[in-house]
C-alpha cells in the first residue's frame, strides 16, 4: 500500500525531507545544513549543486528514519525558500552561476531604478520593486556571466527558483516547471492573468525563453527519478514556503492568517479569489489549484525576527542560546523603556526602506542584557502588529493568529504577540506547518486526504494564549523608536528618497 507522503522542504539554511502519514504525523526526517556563501558585504549565494546533493541525501535519510520502504511513498510535495534564483544550462544541467539568495542585496540599485514604475509593478505583480525578488537577480546573472545573455536568448539556459531547480533535477522527465506562489515572487508574473508578462520581461530585460512553465500548484510535476532517489512517485504539489505554511495552517478561508517566526517573520492572510492591493503590503498568490481560481494573500515580509536573537547570541555573545531569551525577558517586569528596532538589513514590510539601520533607544546605566533580549523579542511582536495594522486598514481584520516557526517555542513571545495584537494567538501542534502544508496538498491531489474539510479536521493547536495585558503604551514607544531609526537614516542619506514613507 502506498500510504505515505514525502515532503521536500528546501530552506534558506538547511535542506529537509519529511515522511508524513496521511493524518499529518511525522514518521521520519532527514536534515542537512549547507554552505552560506558571502562573496561581498550584503551578497548571499548558495551552491545549487550542493543543495541538490544534500536534498537527495535528506530524502534517503527521511525514508530510512521513517522505517518505511521507499515504494510505499504515494506522492511528493516540494516547498522551498522563495525568490532564490538559479540559471543553468539546458544541455548539461550545470548552473552557470551560484544561486543568488533572496537575502542578497546586489541588485538594490537596479531595483530602486524600477521604483519609477512602482504603480505598474504594484498592479501587475502585487510586489514592490526590491532586490528581494527574482527578476533583477536573473538579469544580474545574464549580464555578469560572459555570454549568458546571448545563450539565454537562443534558449540554451533555464531559470528557476529552487522548486524548479529541484523538479528539473529530480523528475525523470526533467520538467521545467513552477507554479503561481513561486512565480508571483519574480516581478515578472502577472498575478491577475496568471501568466508571465511581456511588458515586465522587457523592463527587467529577461528573455522569455529562460522561463519555466507555470502549472497549477497541485499539478503533476513529474515522476521522481528512481536512479537518484530509489523510488518512483509523482510530485503532486509545489508551493513557496510561506504559502505552504498558510495552507498547512488551514488558513483556507478569506480573513484567516498565519505568522511564521524564524530568521524573519512572514505574516500572510488569505484574501480570497480576487487580488487587491494594500499600502505597505505585498499581494501574492497563495496557491492555484487545478480548475479553480487562485487564492490570493496579503503578505507582510519582515526580514529580521529570530535573527535578532541570533545576533545577540553570535554577534554580541550576550546570551548562550536562543532558549535562554525567554527566562531573561521574563526576569524584567517590563521593557523599562528600552526598544530595539532590528533593521539590521533595512526594513521590509510595511516600510520597504533599505537605508534604515538597527537602532536601540532608551538605554540607561541600569540597562542589562535582559533589556536587550526583551527588546528583541518585543520587536518581533511589534513588527507583526505594524503589518496587521495595515491589513486592518485594508479590510482584513485578523480575529485570531495561527503561529509556527522556531521562535514560537518562546511563550513570552506568543503571549506578548497576543497582547499587542489584542487577539488570541494559536500555536499549531504540528510545528512543521510548511512541510506539512505542501504534503497535505500532494496528499489531497493523490486522494489520500479527501477534501479541505478533512484537512481542517487534522489541524490542532498545542497552545492558545489570549490577550492578557494592555500594551498600547509600549506599542506607542515602539513607534517612537521607529521614528528615531528613520530620522537617523534620513539624516545620513539626505539626497535619497524620504525615509519613513510607506511605498
Ligand atoms: P528558519 O527556518 O528561518 O531557519 P527556524 O524556524 O528554524 O528558522 O527558527 C530559528 C530562529 O528562531 C532563529 O533565528 C532563532 O534565533 C529563533 N529562535 C529559536 N528558538 C527561540 C526561542 N526560544 N526564543 C526566541 N527565538 C528563538
Which structural domains are found in the chain, ordered by start?
4-240 (3.30.420.40)
Q: Which residue owns the Cα nearest ligand 1 atom 8?
A: 262
Give pTM, 2 decimals: 0.92
Query: Per residue in 360-417, pLDDT tens?
Result: 999 999 999 999 999 999 999 999 999 999 999 999 999 999 999 989 999 999 999 9
What is the CA(310)–ligand 1 centre distance, in A?
Answer: 8
* Minimum-distance ligand 1 atom for the alpha carbon of 13: 4
Q: Is the CB of 36 under 6 A from ligand 1?
A: no
Determine the distance separating the centroid of ligand 1 and the alpha carbon of 115, expressed in angstroms. 33
Cα separation, 101 vs 363, whole angstroms = 35
Q: What are phi and psi of 13, to 5 degrees?
A: -115, -20
321-337 CB burial, b ≥16 within 10 A, e <16: ebebbbebbeeeeebee
Q: Does ligand 1 have an atom closer than 6 angstroms to the CB of 322?
A: yes
The label of the residue with cell 505594524 reads: 386
DSSP count for the chain of H helices, then E strands: 17, 22
Nearest partner of 33 among 6, 47, 51, judged by Cα: 51
Nearest CA to ligand 1 atom 7: 406
Q: Which pLDDT score, from 0 to 100, does residue 494 have?
A: 54
Residue 72: asked if its preceding bond is cis (omega within 30°), the reply is no
Residue 32, burial from CB neighbour count under 10 angstroms (0-12, 13-18, 19+): middle
Q: Are 12 and 5 in contact (CB under 8 A)?
A: no
Nearest residue (by CA) to ligand 1, atom 13, is 306
Ligand 1 centroid distance, CA of 12 (Å)? 13
CA 393 to CA 386: how far, in whole Å? Answer: 11
Dihedral of alpha carbons 158, 12, 280, 361, sign: negative
Model confidence pLDDT, tens digit, residues 442-458: 999 999 999 999 999 99
Q: What is the pLDDT of residues 247-261, one digit of tens each?
A: 999 999 999 999 999
Ligand 1 centre to CA of 306 (Å) is 5
At 69, the pLDDT band (50, 70, 90 cuts) reads: very high
Judge if the beta carbon of residue 342 lies within 6 A of ligand 1.
no
The enclosing H or E element of 196 equals strand 195-196
**Is the Cβ atom of 326 under 6 angstroms away from ligand 1?**
yes
Ligand 1 contact via 306 beta carbon (within 6 Å): yes
Q: Is 263 in the pocket of ligand 1 (CB under 6 A)?
A: yes
- The residue whose CA has the least distance to atom 20 of ligand 1 is 407
Residue among 406, 414, 434 whose CB has most ligand 1 atoms within 8 A, to mutate: 406
Q: Is 323 in the pocket of ligand 1 (CB under 6 A)?
A: yes
- Tens digit of pLDDT for each residue in 303-336? 999 999 999 999 999 999 999 999 999 999 999 9
Q: Considering only CA atoms, which of 118, 117, 120 is closest in space to residue 128? A: 118
- Mutation test residue for ligand 1: of 31, 306, 408, 428, the one with most atoms within 8 Å of CB: 306
CB 459 within 8 A of CB 426: no
pLDDT score, position 231: 95
Does the structure show a pLDDT above 80 at 497?
A: no
Residue 212 Cβ contacting ligand 1 at under 6 Å: no
Ligand 1: residue of 18, 322, 373, 437 to mutate (most ligand atoms within 8 A of CB) is 322
Cα–Cα dist 53/205, whole Å: 32
Centre of ligand 1 to C-alpha 343, Å, is: 17
Whether residue 42 is predicted with pLDDT greater than 90 in this model: the reply is: no
Q: What is the mean pLDDT of the chain?
A: 94
CB contact at 8 A, 313 and 320: yes
Compute the C-alpha angle 125/216/287, nearest 5°: 55
**How far apart are the C-alpha atoms of 493 and 108, rounded to whole Å?**
15
- Model confidence at 124: pLDDT above 90: yes
**Per-residue pLDDT tens digits for 445-495:** 999 999 999 999 999 899 999 999 999 999 999 999 999 999 999 888 654
**Which atom from ligand 1 is nearest to the alpha carbon of 325?**
24
Per-residue pLDDT, 233: 97
3-class SS letters over 102-144:
CCCCCCHHHHHHHHHHHHHHHHHHCCCCCCCCHHHHHHHHHHH
What percent of the chain lies above the pLDDT cut of 90? 90
- pLDDT for 496 equals 47
Distance of CA 499 to the CA centre of its chain: 25
What is the per-residue pLDDT across 144-175, written as a single tens digit (0 to 9) for each? 999 999 999 999 999 999 999 999 999 999 99
| Residue (of 425, 371, 417) closest to 400 by Cα position | 425
Does residue 147 contact residue 215 with C-beta atoms inside 8 Å? no
**Pocket lining: 325 vs ligand 1, CB cutoff 6 Å:** yes
Amino acid at each position: 500500500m502506498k500510504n505515505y507522503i514525502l515532503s521536500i522542504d528546501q530552506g534558506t539554511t538547511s535542506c529537509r525531507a519529511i515522511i508524513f502519514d496521511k493524518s499529518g504525523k511525522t514518521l521520519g526526517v532527514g536534515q542537512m545544513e549547507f554552505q552560506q556563501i558571502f562573496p561581498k558585504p550584503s551578497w548571499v549565494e548558495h551552491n545549487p549543486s550542493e543543495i541538490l546533493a544534500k536534498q537527495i541525501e535528506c530524502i534517503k535519510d527521511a525514508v530510512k528514519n521513517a522505517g518505511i520502504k521507499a515504494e510505499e511513498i504515494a506522492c511528493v510535495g516540494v516547498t522551498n525558500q522563495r525568490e532564490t534564483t538559479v540559471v543553468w544550462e539546458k544541455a548539461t544541467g550545470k548552473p552557470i552561476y551560484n544561486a543568488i539568495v533572496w537575502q542578497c542585496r546586489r541588485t538594490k540599485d537596479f531595483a530602486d531604478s524600477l521604483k519609477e514604475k512602482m504603480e505598474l509593478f504594484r498592479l501587475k505583480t502585487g510586489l514592490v520593486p526590491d532586490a528581494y525578488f527574482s527578476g533583477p537577480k536573473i538579469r544580474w546573472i545574464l549580464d555578469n556571466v560572459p555570454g549568458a545573455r546571448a545563450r539565454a536568448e537562443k534558449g540554451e539556459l533555464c531559470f528557476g527558483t529552487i522548486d524548479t531547480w529541484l523538479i528539473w533535477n529530480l523528475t525523470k522527465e526533467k520538467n521545467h516547471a513552477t507554479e503561481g506562489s513561486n512565480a508571483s515572487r519574480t516581478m515578472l508574473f502577472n498575478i491577475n492573468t496568471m501568466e508571465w508578462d511581456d511588458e515586465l520581461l522587457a523592463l527587467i530585460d529577461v528573455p522569455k525563453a529562460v522561463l519555466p512553465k507555470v502549472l497549477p500548484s497541485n499539478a503533476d510535476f513529474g515522476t521522481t527519478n528512481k536512479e537518484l532517489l530509489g523510488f518512483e512517485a509523482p510530485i503532486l504539489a509545489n508551493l513557496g514556503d510561506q504559502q505552504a505554511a498558510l495552507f498547512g495552517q488551514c488558513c483556507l478561508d478569506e480573513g484567516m492568517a498565519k505568522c511564521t517566526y524564524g530568521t524573519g517573520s512572514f505574516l500572510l492572510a488569505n484574501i480570497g479569489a480576487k487580488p487587491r492591493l494594500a499600502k505597505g503590503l505585498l499581494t501574492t498568490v497563495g496557491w492555484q489549484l487545478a480548475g479553480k481560481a487562485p487564492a490570493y494573500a496579503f503578505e507582510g515580509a519582515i526580514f529580521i525576527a529570530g535573527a535578532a536573537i541570533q545576533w545577540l547570541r553570535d554577534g554580541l555573545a550576550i546570551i548562550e542560546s536562543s532558549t535562554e531569551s525567554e527566562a531573561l525577558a521574563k526576569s524584567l517586569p517590563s521593557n523599562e523603556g528600552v526598544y530595539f528596532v532590528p533593521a539590521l538589513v533595512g526594513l521590509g514590510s510595511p516600510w520597504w526602506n533599505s537605508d534604515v539601520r538597527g537602532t536601540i533607544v532608551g538605554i540607561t546605566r541600569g540597562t542589562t542584557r535582559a533589556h536587550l533580549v526583551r527588546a528583541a523579542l518585543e520587536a518581533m511582536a511589534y513588527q507583526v502588529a505594524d503589518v496587521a495594522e495595515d491589513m486592518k486598514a485594508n479590510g482584513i481584520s485578523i480575529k485570531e493568529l495561527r503561529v509556527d516557526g522556531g521562535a514560537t517555542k518562546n511563550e513570552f513571545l506568543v503571549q506578548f504577540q497576543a497582547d499587542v495584537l489584542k487577539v488570541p494567538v494559536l500555536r499549531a501542534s504540528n510545528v512543521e506547518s510548511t512541510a506539512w502544508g505542501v504534503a497535505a496538498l500532494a496528499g489531497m491531489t493523490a486522494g489520500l486526504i479527501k477534501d479541505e474539510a478533512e484537512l481542517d479536521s487534522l489541524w490542532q493547536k498545542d497552545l492558545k494564549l489570549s490577550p492578557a495585558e494592555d500594551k498600547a503604551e509600549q506599542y506607542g514607544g515602539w513607534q517612537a523608536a521607529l521614528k528615531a531609526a528613520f530620522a537617523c537614516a534620513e539624516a545620513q542619506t539626505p539626497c535619497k528618497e524620504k525615509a519613513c514613507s510607506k511605498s
